[in-house]
Amino acid sequence: MSQPTAGGNTALGEEPTELKRVMGPKLLLLFIVGDILGTGVYALTGQVAAEVGGAAWAPFIVAFVIALITAFSYLELVTKYPRAAGAALYTHKAFGIHFLTFIVCFTVMCSGITSASTAARAVGSNLLVGIGVEDAGTWTVVTVALVFMALVALVNLRGVGESVKANIVLTLVELSGLLFIILAGIFAAFGGQADFSRVTVFESPGDKSAFLAVTAATALAFFAMVGFEDAVNMAEETHDPVKNFPRMMIAGISITGVIYVLVAIFTVAIVPVGELGESDTPLTLVVERALPGFPIGAIFPFITIFAVANSALINMLMASRLLYGMAKQRVLPRFLGRVSPRRQTPTSAILFTTVIALGLIVLVTLQEENGVIAALGGTTSLLLLAVFTIVNVAVLKLRSDIVDRRHFVAPTILPILGALLCAFFVGPWTGRDPLQYQIAGWLLLIGVLLWFVTWAFNRPDPTEITDIEALSEREGGTN
């Protein structure tokens, strides 16, 4: 790990902000762990196994390595520029192209919304299984998902303090659920109910080559590792982000990586790959098979609901804060930067992102009733990998920008390697489902149209200050 290096005078990593700082190091760690440990492993483990067979753990390891490399780039940038807006802010400072900044901002927002939509669909499926509704219709699941997203919006509007408290509870529940899977796997192994010979068996579906199967599975498994990038958008609501982010982010990614690999190994050893790939609730199936008749099997669908609900809450928090941050910098329409004076929450941004999430759930379901969760999850990883490519390049571009604080510095080889790996996994040669590119394309088209609207009504004056920090100071010194 690289050590923090001086970029000037030592300074506390807090700057004036309209938002409320509520997250210390422990809450930040729970936020990161809670966001990563969620929908991906609970809902997509079976889909990953369907791509590569028993070697489902391998794509998770590759995804973990890519995420960790890119996390080093984020750490350098968030400690250098500890403000809301994350990747969009870094892109703006590195390249200064309004359109590119806007598209990166919109892409990250869309990744959060597609991730939350994936979680909402998983909530619908698991809730119906938990209450004993077998073979529920697609639109029944969708209705539950839409109601759930509305509840997430209400929690978000209530305030970041309440949202973080909810995150603590949900994170502990989802963590206990995954630890229970590992313990159930150990119990099944001692009871002779696990077949670990499956773990080394590679099976690719149809006529896919081994290379395409592994890359496609990794592209999907990467969805399970995203989440660390959400945290940087909460920089203005974190105490001393310069000090706290490096330790907590690396710890969070490492913890989740170990858990994912263990869960993948036990899952494949207990349930045949074919059954995993066909199930929308794969981990519930694992519990039922490992501990037949054990009461926890009846409540595990509800544990899954808590887990994926946490992912949805955190992603919608991130998406709304991202829009707020960029609206304050005049990259997005100014109305998205409105803050409730009572709750200190970005109300307009929360409502805007919720409407998009609701529409996305319905539209994707209309296009493809089967495999919606995998399509949304894959789209999330596709969008973020494209953004990560730009962020890794931005780190190198911004090395010449010296700031007056100590900050984390990543080894130069890591952002170079990260940019190459992320760019590779964006391409169609990975064997991605074409539907993922279609969903991403439509979302980006909406983004381009919104950029034209922003440009027309919020056109930047070339005589104005263009530096984000200077512009913020001129607008009142609060953001």
Please, is 464 exposed, middle or buried when counting C-beta atoms within 10 Å of its C-beta (0-12, 13-18, 19+)?
A: exposed
pLDDT for the residue numbered 275 = 80
Characterize 403-418 residue by residue with b for buried, 16 or more Cβ atoms within 10 angstroms of its Cβ, and e for exposed. Answer: eebbbbbbeeebbebb
Position 467 scores a pLDDT of 45
Q: Outline where 341-428 has alpha helix (H).
A: 347-367, 372-397, 413-426
468 vs 347, more confident: 347
User: Would you say residue 259 lies in a domain?
Assistant: yes
Answer yes or no: is pLDDT of 76 > 70.
yes
pLDDT surpasses 60 at 479: no
What's the pLDDT score for residue 158?
77
Residue 161 lies in a domain: yes
Residue 187, domain member (yes or no): yes
Asked whether residue 87 is assigned to any structural domain, the reply reads yes
Average pLDDT for residues 63-83, to the nearest whole number? 88
Half-sphere exposure of residue 233, counting CA atoms within 13 Å on the CB side? 26
Q: Check residue 147 and give its pLDDT.
A: 87
- The CATH number for 80's domain is 1.20.1740.10
What span, in angstroms and rounded, lies between the C-alpha atoms of 151 and 117?
13
Query: Mean per-residue pLDDT for 68-78?
Result: 91
Average pLDDT over residues 224-241: 75
Residue 110 lies in a domain: yes
Is the model's pLDDT at 248 over the cut of 60? yes
Beta carbons within 10 angstroms of residue 369's beta carbon: 13
Backbone angles phi, psi at 39, to 5 degrees: -55, -40
- 36: in domain: yes
Is the per-residue pLDDT at 119 higher than 70?
A: yes
CB 77, CB 228: distance < 8 Å: no
pLDDT per position as a tens digit, 261-286: 898 888 888 888 878 777 767 777 88
| DSSP track, 181-222 | HHHHHHHHHHTT---GGGGG-B--STT--HHHHHHHHHHHHH
Please tell me the least confidently modeled range out of 145-154, 353-362, 372-381: 372-381
Task: Kindly give, in sequence order, each residue whose CB lies less than 8 Å from that of residue 295, ignoring residues fewer than 6 positions away.
Answer: none
User: Is the residue at 112 inside a domain?
Assistant: yes
Of the given ranges (9-13, 245-249, 360-364), which has the lowest mean pLDDT?
A: 9-13
Q: What is the mean pLDDT of the chain?
A: 77
Three-state DSSP class for residue 23: strand
User: What's the pLDDT at 420?
Assistant: 96
CA 463 to chain centre: 37
User: What is the span of the domain harbouring residue 78?
Assistant: 22-457
Question: What total of structural domains would you count in the chain?
Answer: 1
pLDDT of residue 228: 76
Its pTM stands at: 0.75
38 or 429, greater pLDDT = 429
Among candidate residues 382, 381, 389, the one with its CA nearest the CA of residue 415: 389
pLDDT tens sequence across 166-202: 777 877 887 888 888 888 889 888 888 888 888 888 7
Burial of 298 (0-12, 13-18, 19+ CB in 10 A): middle
Please give the backbone phi and psi of residue 6, each rounded to the nearest 5 degrees, phi first: -80, 135
pLDDT of 92 above 80: yes
Residue 471 lies in a domain: no
pLDDT confidence of residue 411:
93
Averaging pLDDT over each range in 22-26, 98-102, 299-303, 398-402, which range is the top one? 398-402
